[in-house]
Chain A
Amino acid sequence: DVKVTQSSRYLVKRTGEKVFLECVQDMDHENMFWYRQDPGLGLRLIYFSYDVKMKEKGDIPEGYSVSREKKERFSLILESASTNQTSMYLCASSLVRTQETQYFGPGTRLLVL
């Protein structure tokens, strides 16, 4: 069974803190993705990676960075959290050689105070 896990379901941080969101998949998928979801805006792609140490900016990369040192792990980093980064963050992964259906983790609800 496909399994994508995220390190926290809920997180509360203060403005200016450095925040790490971790995502791990156990399906040997090449592609991994980070989205944020806000009411009325749907899911917006922040960054994605199609190989270890490879990354590509999505639609809203400002204020975020990512790290992929191992195939199974993709980290999203908020260098200096701001209140407008309060959101639901969803991680996903997909296999290249299929229709590339993305499988999602349970999400992390981040509140920045």
Chain B
Amino acid sequence: AQKITQTQPGMFVQEKEAVTLDCTYDTSDQSYGLFWYKQPSSGEMIFLIYQGSYDEQNATEGRYSLNFQKARKSANLVISASQLGDSAMYFCAMREVSTGGGNKLTFGTGTQLKVEL
């Protein structure tokens, strides 16, 4: 079963508007972490924001915030005041414990965001 689901393959938003990128996850662990990464066309993966499963407050980093709804197992990324430079692929990921005991990330399939004038 897919552990991280991003149902929006592509999104358009107008400059200066806010946009929400959806992410749902599936885990039976009590302790886990959720991440969002941005991948511009140049290819590098840029860490944006992190939410721990025990964090009571939603994470925020500048224009990025994570809308964490634990009971619904969702961790949506909200980008406020979109800029042209926000056009990129966005990946949601979850940290989980591997069979060997190490921690690894499982990624969703990504959402391609296009910011328009």
A-side interface residues toward B, CB under 8 Å? 31, 33, 35, 40-45, 48, 50, 56, 58, 88, 90, 92, 94, 96, 99-107, 109
Contacts and interface: CB of A to CB of B under 8 A. Distances in A.
B103 interface: yes
B100 to A, nearest CB: 4
Interface residues of B, number: 27
Interface in B89-117: 91, 93, 95, 98-100, 102-110
Interface of B: 9, 33, 35, 37, 42-47, 50, 52, 91, 93, 95, 98-100, 102-110
Main SS at interface, chain B: strand
A43 B91 contact: yes
A105 B99 CA distance: 25
Given A43-B45, A56-B102, 4 more contacts: A96-B103, A102-B47, A102-B105, A106-B42
Contact of A90 (B45, B93, B109): B45
Contacts of B107: 35, 42-44
11 contacts: A42-B91, A42-B107, A43-B107, A50-B102, A56-B100, A92-B45, A101-B35, A102-B47, A102-B105, A107-B44, A107-B45
